[in-house]
A and B are shown apart, each in its own frame.
Chain A
Amino acid sequence: MTTNILADTGVLTGRSLRHILRSPDTIVTTVITPIALLLLFVYVLGGAIRTGSGGSYIDYLLPGILLITISSGIAYTAYRLFLDLKDGMVERLRSMPIARSSVLWAHVVTSLAANLFSVSIVIGVAIAMGFRTGASVAAWLAIAGIMVLVILALTWLAVIAGLTAKTVDGASAFSYPLIFLPFISSAFVPTESMPAPVAWFAENQPVTSIVNTLRALFAGRPVGGEAVIALGWLVGIAVVACTIATMIYRRKIG
């Protein structure tokens, strides 16, 4: 049974990766907003922003932009899952002797691959724009690990959206608030510059701790207690969202 889960998930992941190869616009539209934001904030607004961190503004900005990239990328998971439900593909798969959870996991693994690819493109553009990092190999591995956790956590949220949506638009619309969340965090400007209630929200929402941890890793600084908070948020969201998504899936399909 466990070997089946792996084999079946592999076959189904191959299928949805093929979807991405055949509609590369899903990658293009994922990276276009974050790249536009990079350009806007580095070349237009960035000159007037004082981060107090000493480094160049793009070094300060990139972690938040990476989160925005993932937030817009996961909408496609909700979209593809919604279509599979609507077109009867899920029913077809469910009446076959395959591991049940492999249907959801295939979408999650596909999201992981697609989003890591998008994130690499955005990092490449940032380097071309002057982003520099003193991160060691270990720090890069930690950054990759955090990226994987962010993608898993947000993708499982997307799975919930895809399973419960009534329309295609509804399936992808849920990601808009996620794309905006970094704006009310330390991603673009330090939280000290915000009015007290806003600063309180910004400092206590997950994006700030994740962004600050990534920033420390990129700068080659030691990560503080914020890394623990960031990991707590990410693992917590991933586990809760995965549990809820699996429950909805079981109930929905009887």
Chain B
Amino acid sequence: MSVVFRMPRIAVFVAVAALVAACSANTAGSGDATGSGAPGKGAEAVGFIFVGPKDDYGYNQAAYEGSQAVASAYPDLEVLTAENVPEDDNAARIMNSMIAKGAKVIFATSYGHLDAALKVAAEHPDVAVVQQGNLITGTVPANAGTYFGTVYEPVYLAGIAAGKATKSDKLGYVYAFPINQTISNINAFQLGAASVNPKAKTYVVNTSSWCDPAKQAEAAANLIKQDVDVITQHQDCTATIIKATEAAGKYTVGYHADASSLAPKGWLTGSEWDWDKLYVDIVKTAIDGGFTGSKYNANYRVGFKTGENPFVQSAFGPSVAQPTKDAIATARTLLGTEQGSPFAGPLTDQDGKVRIPEGTVPDYAEIEKIDYFVSGVVGKLPK
């Protein structure tokens, strides 16, 4: 069963105003009611919060579809969802209202929901709260965790397609915020491209918004003007840049969703989410009472090495030649082995300094801490 809360920002605003009074009273006591030590056990409802609309052809839609996979896997479970949940205290209030409705497993699906998620987890030891994409630093509470795919792996593969396709050797990457996840993606994209085309360089433009189509239009126009002929991005809404790139006759590498219909000619490939298996498994683990101490009670990352990556490569576009597909298949196999990583040493940063020495293969946790651009990326991180 699935219940959808339609919450445009203004509705959230109003709803939150109404909730403030109720929550300040109800959050204090409800937490310690059941100190069973098995957060989420026997849950009858599960809650999901999304930072954007559930049909953005991107990140939020993928997460929403995952929540619906949980609904079909557990027909008796009530699946509560809330869209457009801001990354502040409002998120905590909305999660609390879901808990008040009986939710014992909560998925906070945006990077910036982490603080609110940890706050809610601390108030409700009987509820398992998992957060998508961020990292809990320090001790992980017994009823919390983060999970994510190693997004940079399929992005590295897409970088190979870009490196092969470019004629100007200039690739463009439009991104929202310089968070670690994005930095890893940009680096992986450049490294993938450089692995098949040493002359390829990636020009980065940031928009400081998860979705500001007008700013994106300006970013795309300027990259194209500078002779960039493959453009990719890391933002929540992707249509503007894909359309601008296609209209200019350049190549697109997608992110978050298969948007090849927006770029029938220039679509190369991309990466997209498939959360179904992971969400269902997290819910199962919690309901069975095994959350605490499980792999999900940590900063859990799944990639080509550890198993099925929830971030998968999108279908190829018409212009991608067989040798490119073969190169990508080979790289994919390599990434699944012990020695395979886009960031295997030697890795040099933009200033030519060796950051990861030859022979070293960083693990997932180390990669997420990379806070510099690798050599070949053109542009600086905002300080």
Partners in one complex: no
**Which residues of A are interface residues toward B (Cβ below 8 A)?**
none
